[in-house]
Amino acid sequence: MRIETDPKLDFKDVLIRPKRSTLNSRNAVDVRREFRFYHTGSDWKGFPLIAANMDVTGTMAMARALGRHGALTALHKHYPVAELAEFFASDDGAHAFYSVGIAAGDLEKLEHVKRRAPIAKICVDVANGYSEKFLQTVKKVRDDNPKAVIMAGNVVTGDMTEALILAGADIVKIGIGPGSVCTTRRVTGVGYPQLSAIIECADAAHGLKGQVCADGGCTVPGDVAKAFGAGADFVMLGGMLAGHDECDGEIRYEERDGIMVPAGMGFYGMSSEAAMKKHSGGVAHYRAAEGKSVETPYRGPVENTMLEILGGVRSMMTYIGATQLKEVSKRTTFVLVTAQTNDVFGR
């Protein structure tokens, strides 16, 4: 047994300190990033936000909507082959990752789709990115798809970030347990505060010319800004994008002034009992559910939420004098704000 005593931080533990700036308007900043991916040499430019590959948010409708803002969507892996092939053969496919697990059936399905349409972006996704099988799968997917941009995760430490990049990942997905409908930390006791995980893993990835995607823990636009400040190249959102017209969740209606109107939408973690019942017939006897089901308020088109997120990031950039999104991490100074972290530092 070993105890690490260095302080580890979540988004709630910090604020970004403002700095003098010559920027007079949010219109003066550029929220796009341009990347050249290490293993493929291919380029991408856009707003580096990704909708999570969950049943509710990782939809084709979401990909079309976010694509209009230059953002991306990781599709959930439960679409049928024909529908996936048709989507990736269209222009909308450029705004999406094909999601795959480590089961043989997942890899076979990917091959079936590839025979019908090109797949330029692949997300190799598991809850526990520390298994040897996962690392082997990333290597196989890279060998089988030398020209595809590969995002893989989830992990929270620098050593595994480096291992995944060396195995073939261009982008490493960071986060264990921070999601709004994830209960891994409560059920297993395993996890890592998300802000510190991003800082440590981004440092490891950038040393190898890779990128990281902060996955989970963002509940407001300010958290997205903090993730970029911590060094995240991409930010993945689930709960913040749930409840919209582009989602596949079940909508609950209620009567208001004699009219039935949408009031809420179901949202659940992909390791929840609801997800496993839907896709696997139930929770296997050898495991526990590590997610929960909730209802989020109905929010209408995702366009409104995207404008809030973009506005929050732009405003943050004007506060710290960053004209380009790539400058944000270099211009960010975090200030500790919670009593808990002050106690850890002996203040």
Which residues pair with residue 20 across a beta bridge? none
Q: Determine whether 182 is an active site residue.
A: yes
User: Token pair 């969507």 is at which residue?
Assistant: 73
- Chain centroid to Cα 159, Å, comes to 20
The beta-carbon contacts of 5-10 under 8 Å, at least 24 apart in sequence, are: 7/196, 7/341, 7/344, 7/345, 8/192, 8/193, 8/196, 8/197, 9/193, 9/195, 9/196, 9/334, 9/336, 9/341, 10/178, 10/193, 10/194, 10/195, 10/196, 10/217
Neighbours of 117 (CB within 10 A): 17
Phi, psi angle pair for 338, to nearest 5°: -95, 150
Residue 82 identity (one-letter amino acid): A
| Ranges of H-type helices in 209-338 | 221-229, 273-280, 302-320, 328-331
Are 45 and 23 within 8 A, CB to CB?
no
Amino acid code (one letter) for 347: R
Q: Which of 182, 201, 213, 218 is catalytic?
A: 182
Helices H, strands E: what count in the chain? 12, 15
Which residue type does 345 have?
F
Q: Please report, as a single letter, which amino acid is at residue 182.
A: C
Report d(CA 53, CA 70) in Å as an integer. 17
Alpha helical stretches, state H, the chain: 60-67, 81-88, 104-114, 132-144, 158-167, 184-188, 194-207, 221-229, 273-280, 302-320, 328-331, 339-344
Query: Which residues are marked as active site?
Result: 182
